[in-house]
A = this chain, B = another copy of it.
Amino acid sequence: MSLSSDLDAFDRAILAILQKDNATPQRTIGEKVNLSAPAVQRRIKRMEEQGVIRANVALVDPAKVGHPITIFVEVEVESERAELIDAAKRGFAQVPEVQQCYYVTGEADFILIITVATMADYEALTRRLFFANNNVKRFRTFVAMDRVKVGLEVPLA
């Protein structure tokens, strides 16, 4: 499971910084958390090995690269047989336009976040992903008018 990742106050302080800007020099991090640069570096390495840090990435503004439209989709399936659910998960995850995909409880089964260039592209996607899929009973679309807050930061109180 969470497999021996007991983080102390130093680790959390380091993570808090890296979640906002992972280009911060280790020396600077060290000054802020009262640790030497090597100590910081060893902790970062350990957290990467443990999977606490999943990845180091650049966040790109979708609008600036020709994907101005963000869409939410609630998907309801016909059958919840494990095999079919797994197939659906794999199918959704494969699609690059599907930025996020969650399997959820409640009145829907999946929630997708999709990024596209045009509504025509979205319409084409719905054909491929939903209409052509026998196990999709229904889906509801929400178009984002404002990306009020977007990130994957986890609070570290």
Query: A102 contacts which of B12, B15, B101, B147 (Cβ < 8 Å)?
Result: B147
* Closest chain B CB from A53 CB (angstroms): 5
CA distance A110 to B53 in the complex (A): 29
Q: How does the 8 Å CB contact mask read for A1-33 relative to B, with 1 for contact and 0 for none? A: 010010100001001001111110000000000
How many residues on the A side are at the interface (Cβ–Cβ under 8 A)?
Answer: 67
- Decide if A58 touches B59 in the complex (CB within 8 Å): no
Query: A154 contacts which of B7, B106, B115, B143 (Cβ < 8 Å)?
Result: B115
* Closest chain B CB from A141 CB (angstroms): 6
Given contacts A5-B64, A144-B104, contact A111 B72 (CB under 8 A): yes
Please give 17 more A-B residue pairs, beta carbons under 8 A apart, in addition to A53-B59, A57-B57, A57-B59: A12-B65, A52-B64, A54-B59, A55-B58, A65-B154, A67-B154, A67-B155, A72-B104, A89-B146, A93-B148, A93-B149, A96-B157, A99-B152, A102-B144, A104-B143, A115-B155, A152-B152
